[in-house]
Amino acid sequence: MVNLVDSEGHAIFSGPDNWYKIALADGRELGLTPMILRPNYFNDSKHGFISAVSPGEWLIFRYQRFANDDRLDQGWPIGDKGYLRCFYPMYDGNAFNINLAPNGNPNVYDIVASQSAQSPMHAEQLGHNRVALYVYDKDGKIRGIRLNRIGDARDDGQRVLQQSRSDFLVPLDCQFVKLSTKVSKGLF
């Protein structure tokens, strides 16, 4: 099997020495957005939304081959399931799993960082070392991922990642940028 590659063309691996940020095509990165309580929008204090943030406000992600499995040096085969753990380094250092959480709309789940069980991701390799990320819904079906504005569409609200309701599978186009170095090795 051929593994997904990061921004430098190196295979993405599991383990404490392999941490990444996820960069989007427009220069923003995936980060954690504080809870925004709005009418008809369910969330609780155990969740934060994964959203597009300015460079430097990112979450740090670590790949796991299987749910809650910390085995080292497991590659992410192209076209296969994988799991992402993340933490927000500027907050309190807690580690969170990437998961789906229901919001107030039927059959819509927000992709959040939480302490809950993990939800699998599906990944395909794109050109120029980019990755197409999909998410599995609660029924085990692969779904697209999109950035969606919280609140009224006329507001310039935060854009958070959501599972797409469409049967047309449009992925999140992103790039895994390795952050761990010899200096930071094992420290985050």
CATH number at residue 109: 2.80.10.50
Burial degree of 45 (CB within 10 A; 0-12, 13-18, 19+):
exposed
- Over residues 170-184, the pLDDT tens digits come to 999 999 999 988 787
- Over residues 146-164, the pLDDT tens digits come to 888 766 555 666 778 888 8
What does the mean pLDDT of the chain come to? 81
The predicted model scores a pTM of 0.85
* pLDDT value of residue 34: 62
In a domain, 160, yes or no: yes
Nearest one of 53, 14, 61 to 176, comparing CA atoms: 61
Tally of domains in the chain: 1
In a domain, 62, yes or no: yes
Give every CB contact of residue 69 below 8 A, 6+ residues apart in sequence. Answer: 14, 83
pLDDT band at 95; cut points 50, 70, 90 = low
In a domain, 92, yes or no: yes
Domain that holds residue 58: 19-178
In a domain, 73, yes or no: yes
In a domain, 173, yes or no: yes
* pLDDT value of residue 1: 79
Tell me the three state secondary structure of residue 136: strand
How many angstroms separate the Cα of 180 from the Cα of each of 21, 126, 162?
Answer: 10, 23, 28
Helices (H) and strands (E) in the chain, counts: 0, 13
End-to-end CA distance of the chain: 28
Share of the chain above pLDDT 70, in %: 77
In a domain, 13, yes or no: no
Q: Which residue has the higher pLDDT, 108 or 40?
A: 108
pLDDT band at 86; cut points 50, 70, 90 = confident
- Over residues 16-54, the pLDDT tens digits come to 889 999 999 999 999 887 655 544 445 445 567 788 888
Per the CB < 8 A criterion, the answer to whether 101 and 118 are in contact is no
* pLDDT value of residue 152: 57
* 168 pLDDT above the threshold of 70: yes
- Concatenated DSSP letters of 40-58: T----TT-EEEEEE-TT-B
Per the CB < 8 A criterion, the answer to whether 11 and 3 are in contact is yes
> Pairing between strand 121-125 and 131-136?
antiparallel
